[in-house]
Structure 1
Amino acid sequence: MSISESFSRAPLLLKIAIGIACVGWFLHLLGFATPYWSTAKYFSIFGIDIHFGLWYYCAGKECDGYGKVQSWLEAAQAFAILGFLAGLAAIVLAILYVFVEQLRKDIFYIVAAVGNLAAAGCIFLAVVIFGSKITNGLSWSFGLSIVGMIFHGVAGVLMGVNRFQNKPQ
């Protein structure tokens, strides 16, 4: 069976779920990698903008890594990484399920759906841990990870709904 035939035979909800998961993963990737989880205006006389991410902080145009970090930031970093990896694994498994007929087994489908939900859960923990400890304003990178979390959750739910509507082969 050709790739186009495999894709056209896949249920619509599964195709939508894969698309939503890909968008969610990309949004989390952008939020995960950029230093705008929190911003603060310090030294307003000098107009220095300070912003923080999971991995480094920037003051004006100068950026630097954290070095030794507190355990809460390590936990947020760990959960963000786990969410990133779970989302990637879920997408890869769902795509393999659709395009490789020999891998069209229930286990691949179920693990892909659970992987999306696990990604959402891990990203949720990362944003809750970070957000509970930060005293400055939260910024757009933080928001992108939250939107990515929501997309992964929706993708997992759609895959679950599809599973019960049309039992996979």
Structure 2
Amino acid sequence: MLPLQIPSTVLALLSLLLLVAALSSEHWLEARRDGVFVHSGLWKICANSVCAMPLKLPDYIEATKTFLILGLLAGLLSAFSLLALLSGSGLDTVSPLVVSAVGSFSAGFCVLIALTVFTSEFAEVIKVTWPHISFGWSWGLGWASIPLFLLTGGVTLLAQESNSI
């Protein structure tokens, strides 16, 4: 077993966990207005613990969801290839470390695109109507997953390099 295999697997699973938590929660935006606490995510909008799923969402939210799901799929590919390598399953055609590194970098860049779109559109559209709105913890988890995905890719590439020596 390679010395960097376990840290890269832990990083892959941690970054995947952060992304899943960010994607599934409804605390991307939070606001208080006239005694009402409103928070929303990519799927639901909640006011005082009553949640609803809007029928039509703005295009930037749909784009954010799409890129986050692409990032999730790439992150899953990365984690599963590392787990397959740890379990001893041999893939002869392609190195699981290379697959994992490509998956991690792809996941990081997809999530970066998603959060950049969300953040820039939020600044343009939402701030005007809700002056006391702020980003929630889900948004922060999404941003935190980006450097973890990139770090996973880097550590996995180092593991691949030490494997080929």
| Bin for the TM-score computed over the shorter chain | 0.7 to 0.9
Task: Give the partner amino acid of 2:63.
Answer: A
Does residue 80 of structure 1 match 2:68? yes
Give identity over the alignment, percent: 26
CA distance in 2: counterparts of 1:12 and 1:124, whole angstroms? 29
The residue type paired with residue 21 of structure 2 is: L
Aligned equivalents of 1:70, 1:22: Cα separation in 2: 31
* Residues 93/37 of structure 1: CA separation in 2 closer, same or farther (3 Å cut): same
Indicate yes or no: 2:83 matched with 1:92.
Answer: no
1:50 aligned counterpart, secondary structure: strand
CA distance, structure 1, for counterparts of residue 164 and residue 33 of structure 2? 57
Report whether the alignment pairs 1:41 with 2:32.
yes
Which segment is superposed worse, 132-141 or 13-22?
132-141
Give a deviation string over 1:48-99, Cα, whole Å, max 9, x none. Answer: 1111111111111110112111211110010011111111111001111232
Where structure 1 has 5 or more consecutive residues not aligned to the other structure, the ranges are 1-9
TM-score (norm 1): 0.86
Partner amino acid, structure 1, of 2:56: K
Of the three residues 137, 151, 156, the one matched with 1:154 is 151
State the 1:165 CA deviation: 2.6
Alignment match, 2:130: none
Give 1:101 deviation, angstroms: 4.2
User: How many residues of Structure 1 are paired with residues of Structure 2 in the alignment?
Assistant: 156
TM-score, length-scaled by structure 2 = 0.88
RMSD: 1.6
> Gaps (5+ residues) in structure 2?
128-132
Task: Name 1:15's counterpart in structure 2.
Answer: 6
